[in-house]
Structure 1
């Protein structure tokens, strides 16, 4: 019996099962799906809201988790813990609140703010079709939704009206007495949410930070979640603000599926909270008591000057080692980049990916616009080689390659400086409905430009450069909308003719060549495989993997191949193109994408062949159905469809 599940579908399922447990001690360099007011501060705090009023913010783990074996089964046991703090505009006046939420979708564009908590609106509030489970931390008393007070925790099922709620606090293990907690206190608190899938027991526990988990839960309820939780669901947070604002911060978060004890957070590693006005006033009073009144103004000014110098030195401290002297001309100072980005201010944030945050900057002296990427790098081993490769990559010169200008080193962090691309990344134009649609002519030119740039990396420079992360989000557009391959943070360099060395498998699911799972050796052929997925992204206007779609449509290459077998490959084009495309070019790109995605490395074309095919210098070889049998294609079919 033929195997019906494709190789890529299996790979997707394995990837999803690998994310059933995670721990974030701070959110610096963490890849989350965020919208609205949500963002990550430079210190690594997840901020769900800001000083904006009447708005929402959402942050989700980027891929859905599997909560059931099948739709008919009971929900698995799960557990999560997180640390939060709420900073209100007015110490005694709250404004809605935030929730931990489990939802079938990350899209809450239709949700209302204020007491709807950014989850529902007047039309869908209470609908069983929502399939939403949330735990609310509410700081606003709303009689219309039957709130018990303005400082409570509640369990919400498909509605903002809580099934069960309780005044915020905890029961002390020492004396058994209930102790109130003020959610608006600006103090960090820890939450534990546990669900026992066998006993169907749902518990919510709250305590001040550094207090062990109380034995008695704040909320405990028997709930059968089987009709509420679907097969795959997203986990994350939602926050809402109304007539006044509050800053809702999450400091750390862990989650575990198939278990009732989420991984412990390392509380000592959590990012610091901003210092609020109240604590500053107290600090000033303490200083005034101890500061001798007779101290002279001259001494005071000098003391302040010394403090400023020490703080400044610590603030702009960098890592320098002797071996870096040869790279000094390629190094930027941290102070220079700090000023260029306004202190890595969120308003200059261009994007956040799995490997770092990117900021727009203006170099103070030259007034040159740059893109500054902060990359976490905790390991001392290999840093010298990494920096040497970064400096070497700075010598690349090609019209379709973003130039790497230099680097900076901090403790546990590398900062890369690129030339700035004013039109941002290609994926914004392909997948962001708010951006104008790229016509086919522009897409085809971008494809040919990226192919030319990748051929240069593989063949046209002193060393072989293997990019390792080719995808639409790493193709940037200059002022003339030319496609330029960027983000060389994962690139590897080899001498021409040398055998690639074994390395860690990194990259993006859907773009990883199948041989990497076996050999862990990146080659130019593995880059070609990723380029094939990129071609399909551009032509189809779809991401390489979309878990929310039907099973046969989740993996883009499988879906395109299935349509090719039926003689309908052109039907996979981006519907936003309408009829504005050249059929011959469109089919060429789609078939070339499948050809580059061949499961056997030896069967894939080189980038030189790819550019020749795109420029009609060489013909596209025939593609046969049996060539992709590793992707679940019926290997018994050998006749090309009419």
Structure 2
């Protein structure tokens, strides 16, 4: 097998790098190499192998194999040529996602999460659902990736208390503030992703003014004034207004303050599919009505600018507490890749 990084995949960041490889039978693969310097590298590696090996679904990325040699740890995945959803939405690539494709992406991601939470033999909380962890195949079918932070969940417990890990902007309030982890943590993050898919913008953007800066706040403002369709990405020329309102309504349900008020992912699938009516959202979340953002705007803007300067796409989403694994070095050849899968 030949392994090589690609400039299209970005650059090295955090605790891992992504390479593109080719097997002897001609199949193109993606190889994730965890950094030997990462203190959490081995733990995340073992978690990812154990988790993804136990689950198989159309909307989950497929793991072909792994390699552990000395201090090198490598995961071999199917290669998804259309890369990550964040690049498709916020980047400068050639993909132009129409409304039907975006709607199908939301539904596909919801189905993948419903499988993890409710249908898999193991009950799994992904813990880092975000646009950069959703990959698109050649036909733009979404596949959830990066299970390095996933947790197995015991449904006899109300929640797991754990160290907070994930990405700012997608974290549910009870998890960010108290470390309380349930499958509803993923539901909240899905709601944020769904709004990003509809709007074509990241969850926070310091270049925008007032309520527009924070996507959730802006979505609620439009919802309260019956102007939801204004949230739709200006690049979308045609769309189904009822479907747009359905996706936004589901997203607002998913991002309620209380986990109990958020729907299960199976119910999200039913609502998006039109099999179940979208429940009415009546109360604006407390984290929007009670928190004041004015005093932190400047610090977040500075933080976002630093993130933009080092990112592979232009965005002002808040910084992540975990590595984005879709990034790889510009040019290099890694001899370790020759040892994978023969």
Mapping of residues 140-539 of structure 1, within 5 Å: 340-342=2-4, 345-347=5-7, 349=9, 352-363=12-23, 365-376=24-35, 378=37, 383=42, 387=46, 390-409=49-68, 414-498=73-157, 500-539=159-198
Counterpart of 1:631? Answer: 288
Deviation at 1:553, TM superposition (A): 1.6
**CA distance, structure 2, for counterparts of residue 428 and residue 500 of structure 1:** 33
1:327 is matched with: none
Distance in 1, matches of 2:135 and 2:32, equals: 14
- Equivalent of residue 549 in structure 1, options 179, 199, 208: 208
Return the index of the structure with the highest Cα Rg. Answer: 1
In the alignment, which residue of structure 2 is the partner of 1:577?
236
8 Å contact from structure 2 (residues 6, 20) kept in 1: no
Q: CA deviation at 1:426?
A: 1.7
Deviations 1:344-394 (A, max 9, x none): x4557455554422111112x343221111233657789468516523422
Report how many residues are paired.
Answer: 291
- Cα RMSD (Å) of the superposition? 2.5
List gaps (5 residues or longer) in structure 2. 292-342
Determine if contact 1:348/1:359 at 8 Å carries over to the other structure. no
Q: What is the deviation of 1:499?
A: 5.4
In 2, distance between residues paired with 1:503 and 1:411? 30
Does the CA-based 8 Å contact 1:379-1:412 persist in structure 2? no
Question: What CA distance in whole angstroms lies between the structure 2 residues aligned with 1:421 and 1:381?
Answer: 26
- 1:168-208 CA deviation, whole Å, 9 max, x = no partner? xxxxxxxxxxxxxxxxxxxxxxxxxxxxxxxxxxxxxxxxx
Matched with 2:273 is 615
Distance 2:132 2:265 in 1: 20
Q: How far apart, in 1, do the equivalents of 2:8 and 2:69 lie?
A: 20
Separation in 2, partners of 1:555, 1:588: 21
More displaced stretch, 518-527 vs 410-419 = 410-419
Q: Comparing 406-415 with 526-535, which one deviates more in the overlay?
A: 406-415
Call closer, same or farther: CA 1:460–1:561 in 2, change over 3 Å: same
Describe the superposition over 1:395-453 as per-residue Cα deviations: whole angstroms up to 9, x where unpaired: 31111111123333466663222111122112222112342321101111111111111
Q: Assess, with a 3 A threshold, how the Cα gap between structure 1 residues 501 and 383 changes in structure 2: closer, same or farther.
A: farther
Q: 1:147 — aligned with what?
A: none
Provide closer, same or farther for how the CA distance between residues 430 and 382 of structure 1 changes in structure 2, counting only shifts above 3 A. Answer: closer
Q: Is the 8 A contact 2:84 2:134 kept in 1?
A: yes
CA distance in structure 2 between the aligned counterparts of 1:346 and 1:385, rounded to whole angstroms = 24
Q: Quick one: which of 567, 570, 575 aligns to 2:226? A: 567
Distance 2:175 2:147 in 1: 19
Offset at 1:540?
0.4
d(CA) in 2 for partners of 1:388 and 1:550?
Answer: 41
Task: Give the Cα separation in 1 of the matches to 2:256 and 2:154.
Answer: 26
**Alignment gaps of 5+ in structure 1:** 1-338, 635-642
Name the CA distance, whole Å, in 1 between partners of 2:132 and 2:223. Answer: 26
What's the secondary structure of 1:401's corresponding residue? coil
2:294 alignment partner in structure 1: none
Relative contact order, higher structure (CA 8 A, sep 6+): 2
Structure 1 residue 538: Cα displacement = 0.2
Could you tell me how far apart the structure 1 residues matched to 2:287 and 2:47 are? 38
Contact residue 391 and residue 406 of structure 1 kept, 8 A:
no
CA separation of 1:507 and 1:355: change in aligned 2, threshold 3 A: farther
TM-score by length of 2: 0.77
- C-alpha separation in 1, matches of 2:61 and 2:28: 13
Aligned residue for 1:476, secondary structure, equals strand
Aligned mates of 2:197, 2:63 — CA distance in 1: 25
TM-score (norm 1): 0.43
Residue 515 of structure 1 aligns to a residue in which SS? helix
Deviation at 1:480, TM superposition (A): 1.5
- Aligned 8 A contact 1:348 1:361 in 2: no
